[in-house]
């Protein structure tokens, strides 16, 4: 009886430790502080994630009022994409990153075009219902000035800054899947 009691106690301690490790975010592809600030994701890591697509949002075609004018490149962490394709949902632990390369109109040998200026913003959407109320999404922005200043941590954006557009304009669960076919349910 003492032997099985010890085995049971060992199993309980192990299960508690594993649960604590999962809840601490040890396996998550992002790092949040206690105040929900996000640590800058590693570019050499996220650029190996599934690439969801590219879009161009020119400011001059939007009366100079585009929210994020530039060339957008979008990545998603691999496990989130796998769950999305298998179950049709974005699970807790999803992080979608959008690089926004600043552009300007120039004339080149091939004609007028949009060319990068060297500036870039990095935007992040994270789904984690343990961290964020409501839909479970939190939004972050590392603006070009932050990146050039060496800023490695940014605070959670106020819901009115990001969530209002994502709630109204996004096709599925606050994600703009209508613009990135690879993110649609079970492609």
Residue 67 neighbours by CB distance under 10 Å: 10
First to last CA, the chain: 54
Please give the tally of structural domains in the chain: 2
Could you list the residue range(s) of the whole structural domain that residue 54 is in? 31-183
Task: Tell me, yes or no, whether 87 and 56 share the same domain.
Answer: yes
Which of 17-21, 50-54, 136-140, 183-187 shows the lowest mean pLDDT across its residues?
17-21
Helices (H), the chain: 2-23, 43-46, 78-87, 144-148, 159-169
Mean per-residue pLDDT for 123-136? Answer: 96
For 158-176, write each residue's pLDDT tens digit.
Answer: 988 898 889 999 999 999 9
pTM of the model: 0.83
Question: Given this model, what pLDDT does residue 159 score?
Answer: 84
Question: Given this model, what pLDDT does residue 20 score?
Answer: 37
CA angle 162, 68, 110 (to 5 degrees): 160
Task: Tell me, yes or no, whether 126 and 149 share the same domain.
Answer: yes
Task: Tell me, yes or no, whether 44 and 6 share the same domain.
Answer: no
Contact between residue 40 and residue 142 where contact means Cβ atoms under 8 Å apart: yes
Task: Tell me, yes or no, whether 162 and 89 share the same domain.
Answer: yes
Helix, strand, coil shares, percent, the chain, to 5: 35, 30, 35
For 91-122, write each residue's pLDDT tens digit.
Answer: 999 999 999 999 999 999 999 999 999 999 99
Cα–Cα distance list, 44 to 40, 41, 48 (Å): 12, 9, 7
Is it the case that residue 23 has pLDDT exceeding 80? no
Task: Tell me, yes or no, whether 78 and 134 share the same domain.
Answer: yes
Average model confidence (pLDDT) across the chain: 88
CATH number of the domain that 44 lies in? 3.50.70.20
């Amino acid at each position: 009886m003492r032997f099985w009691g010890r085995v049971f106690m060992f199993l309980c301690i192990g299960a508690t430790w594993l649960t604590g490790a999962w809840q601490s975010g040890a396996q998550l592809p992002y790092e949040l502080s206690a105040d929900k600030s996000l640590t800058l994701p590693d570019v050499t890591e996220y650029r190996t994630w599934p690439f969801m697509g590219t879009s161009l949002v020119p400011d001059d075609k939007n009366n100079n009022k585009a929210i994020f004018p530039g060339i957008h490149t979008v990545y998603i962490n691999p496990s989130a994409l796998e769950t999305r394709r298998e179950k049709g949902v974005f699970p807790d632990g999803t992080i979608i990153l959008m690089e926004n390369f600043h552009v300007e109109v120039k004339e080149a040998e091939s004609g007028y075009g949009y060319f990068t200026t060297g500036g870039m913003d990095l935007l992040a959407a994270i789904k984690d219902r343990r961290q964020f109320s409501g839909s479970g999404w939190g939004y972050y922005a590392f603006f070009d000035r932050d990146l050039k200043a060496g800023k490695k941590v940014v605070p959670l954006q106020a819901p009115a800054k990001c969530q209002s557009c994502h709630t109204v304009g996004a096709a599925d669960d606050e994600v703009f899947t209508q613009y990135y076919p690879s993110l649609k349910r079970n492609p």
